[in-house]
Amino acid sequence: MERSLLESEFGSYENLTDGRTLVLYYVNETPLKFTWNNVL
């Protein structure tokens, strides 16, 4: 998934050094954090 799509859908995200991706998803202005392992 492209960065621009993630930013528009989830608000923001960042690649973690351990290979996971952190996504901040805002629901009613409350940030919820999602993490998952990247599958390459």
Cα 40 from Cα 29, distance rounded (Å): 32
Q: Which residues span the domain enclosing 11? A: 3-37
Q: Give residue-wise pLDDT tens across range 14-40.
A: 655 555 666 665 556 666 666 565 554
pLDDT for the residue 29: 62
Terminal Cα-to-Cα distance of the chain (whole angstroms) = 12
- At 25 the pLDDT is 59
Strands, E assignment, 1-40:
12-15, 20-27, 30-37
Strand order in the sheet with 30-37: 12-15, 20-27, 30-37
Q: Given this model, what pLDDT does residue 30 score?
A: 62
The number of distinct structural domains making up the chain is 1
